[in-house]
Amino acid sequence: MDFKLSEEHIMIRDAARDFAQTELLPGVIKRDNKQEFPQSLVKKMGDLGFLGVMVDPKYGGSGMDAISYVLIMEELSKIDASASVIVSVNNSLVCYGLEAYGNEEQKEKYLKKLATGQFVGAFCLSEPEAGSDATSQKTTAIDHGDHYIINGTKNWITNGGRADVYLVVAQTDRDKGSHGINVFILEKGMEGFHIGPKEDKLGIRGSDTHTLQFNDVKVPKANRIGTNGSGFRFAMKTLSGGRIGIAAQALGIASGAYELALKYAKERKAFGTEICNHQAIAFKLADMYTDIEAARMLVMKAAWDKDQGKNYDKSSAMAKLYASKVAMEHTVEAVQIHGGNGFVKDYHVERLMRDAKITQIYEGTSEIQKIVISRSLIKA
């Protein structure tokens, strides 16, 4: 068993770290306050190949492996989880979905632009009454020969306002349950496709999250992905990969908070010594570091499973479940170590604490991850 990263992996990690320090760190507090993330930064991430990390170079991607992807996600998330969620959704949910299940024409038309950052993608599954219970889609797509007519509402859509391409999950035959669901490629500007106001969120405030409304949107049949009725399995498989990205995001948030807490504890003095010399603080640092390393093992294992062509449904759910728990618990501890300074924005840890919470919710709550893990254990 080899725990060492390759030279190529180290180079990719360092490139992401450098980008995060030089491009993301300046302005991260302002972007969080103003709930914005400029297109110029999205373009820079595209130029660096971060928006199509695992996509085949023949479709404009970087052709890297899932280990590289999680290294990039961790580094970006240490500094700005709003940036990394754009990367995560574009890579894991949209590019992967199109590359694995789209036809050649769809890949030529959409994947090339998504992988290079000319387009940004969004993945539209959740609805007001179908978040965790994903089979209960109310959005309908009715077959009209050469096109479908789509009606419905999607909620909490990451990149909802920014995206150019939207993968929309809809019910085509309610009687068939999960086998009557399909996924369609929609483009911004299609008649009847409305983007609702931006959500005012607790965390990842730079990333734009919207409700989308479809009123008789006419979508060509050529925009349906995969065989008729394959949409639910498409969504579940795609989300399994997405969970690796979010697990890496949680790992990055946790390690970013740990690094800040360690630095602060080595500088801040109380009772005549640096606070890291007090066991109350030293033990917190030990717990944080140990849990983060354990989370890293799970994240790497899930990415490795994907790279080896193994099934990663269980390992990705385990990585996301654990890494998001570690992120939540230890960002709280990082704030505690910072004392009063932790409660003000300039020290960054309060933002990391707010950002951590979403990793226990999106791409399946922690409870959903436990369903996926336990079903897999029982079935085995």
Structure tokens at 355: 């950002």
Nearest to 53 by CA among 66, 41, 43: 66
- Smallest gap, in angstroms, from Cβ of residue 227 to ligand CAA? 13
**Residue 119, interface with ligand CAA (CB under 6 A)?**
no
Q: How far is CA 145 from CA 101, 218, 221, 231, in A?
A: 22, 11, 8, 19
Q: Which of 178, 228, 230, 341 binds ligand CAA (CB under 6 A)?
A: 178
Structure tokens at 8: 């190529």
Stretch that binds ligand CAA, among 127-135, 147-155, 185-193, 216-224 (CB under 6 A): 127-135
Q: Which of 125, 265, 285, 299 binds ligand CAA (CB under 6 A)?
A: 125
- Smallest gap, in angstroms, from Cβ of residue 341 to ligand CAA? 31
Q: Which of residues 311-350 bind ligand CAA (CB under 6 A)?
A: 313
Q: Which is nearer to ligand CAA, 84 or 106 (CB)?
A: 84
> For the chain, how big is the Rg over CA atoms in Å?
21
CB 137 within 8 A of CB 171: yes
Binding mask 227-266 for ligand CAA (x = CB under 6 A): -----xx--xx-xx--------------------------
**Residue 130, interface with ligand CAA (CB under 6 A)?**
no
- Which of 129, 274, 363, 367 is an active site residue? 363
**Residue 173, interface with ligand CAA (CB under 6 A)?**
no
Cα end-to-end span (Å), the chain: 25
**Residue 363, interface with ligand CAA (CB under 6 A)?**
yes
Cα separation, 140 vs 153, whole angstroms: 10
Q: Which of 126, 153, 171, 255 binds ligand CAA (CB under 6 A)?
A: 126
Is the CA virtual torsion 203, 353, 257, 337 positive or negative?
A: positive
Nearest to 357 by CA among 365, 369, 347: 365
Any catalytic annotation for residue 274? Answer: no
Number of neighbours of residue 186 by Cβ within 10 angstroms: 21
Residue whose tokens read 């387009």 = 119
Q: Which of 19, 50, 123, 166 binds ligand CAA (CB under 6 A)?
A: 123
Structure tokens at 144: 């009209």
**Residue 371, interface with ligand CAA (CB under 6 A)?**
yes
Q: Which of 298, 303, 353, 368 binds ligand CAA (CB under 6 A)?
A: 368
Stretch that binds ligand CAA, among 283-291, 325-333, 349-357, 361-369 (CB under 6 A): 361-369
Cα separation, 202 vs 220, whole angstroms: 38
Burial of 300 (0-12, 13-18, 19+ CB in 10 A): buried
Stretch that binds ligand CAA, among 28-36, 137-145, 223-231, 368-376 (CB under 6 A): 368-376
Q: How far is CA 75 from CA 42, 198, 234, 303, 363, in A?
A: 16, 27, 29, 16, 20
Q: Which of residues 132-151 bind ligand CAA (CB under 6 A)?
A: 132, 134-135
Stretch that binds ligand CAA, among 47-55, 100-108, 131-139, 271-279 (CB under 6 A): 131-139
Cα separation, 41 vs 47, whole angstroms: 10
Active site residues: 363
Binding residues vs ligand CAA (CB under 6 A): 89, 123, 125-126, 131-132, 134-135, 157-158, 178, 232-233, 236-237, 239-240, 313, 362-364, 368, 371-372
